[in-house]
């Protein structure tokens, strides 16, 4: 299964609408997750799509990237594992307070 990052999704779109949009372009969709803001619940304009079946990654990207959905040009790339700020988010998902850097004494 291939997992794609989809950016610039119209904020009014739902998971079902994105799934339908991709399936209409000839791909079988296993799952869709549009990311929403934790506080407001509004779409952040990007999401992840897992494609099913025997699909070539570059072929899927070339078909979907740059296409319009409700007037917005989508960005489609291979999804990559999240990295970077993970040390600030413990397994419970709640951000921990950032600690100031230790002071160095000469």
Q: Give the per-residue pLDDT at 89.
A: 47
Range of the domain at 59: 2-80
Domain count, the chain: 1
Give the CATH number, domain containing residue 74.
Answer: 3.30.70.330
Residue ranges of the chain with per-residue pLDDT less than 70: 84-106
Cα distances (Å, whole numbers) of residue 24 to 17, 21, 43, 56, 89: 11, 5, 22, 17, 37
Beta bridge partners of 7: 46, 75
Question: What's the confidence (pLDDT) of residue 84?
Answer: 63
**Has residue 66 been placed in a domain?**
yes
Q: What are 31-59's pLDDT values in tens digits? A: 999 999 999 999 999 999 999 988 898 99
Residue 87 forms part of a structural domain: no
DSSP 24: T
Residue 63 covered by a domain: yes
pLDDT of residue 104: 52
Could you give the CA distance from residue 92 to residue 104 in angstroms, rounded to a whole number? 32
Predicted TM-score (pTM) of the model is 0.75
Residue pair 27/56 in contact (Cβ under 8 Å)? The answer is no
């Amino acid at each position: 299964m291939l997992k794609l990052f989809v950016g610039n999704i119209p904020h009014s779109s739902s998971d079902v609408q994105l799934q339908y949009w991709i399936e209409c372009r000839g791909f079988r969709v296993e799952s869709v997750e549009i990311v929403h803001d934790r506080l407001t619940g509004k779409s952040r304009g990007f999401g992840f799509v897992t494609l099913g079946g025997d699909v070539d990654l570059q072929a899927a990207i070339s078909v979907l990237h740059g296409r319009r959905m409700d007037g917005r040009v989508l960005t489609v790339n291979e999804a990559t594992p999240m990295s970077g700020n993970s040390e600030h988010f413990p397994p419970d998902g709640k951000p921990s307070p950032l600690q100031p850097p230790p002071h160095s004494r000469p």
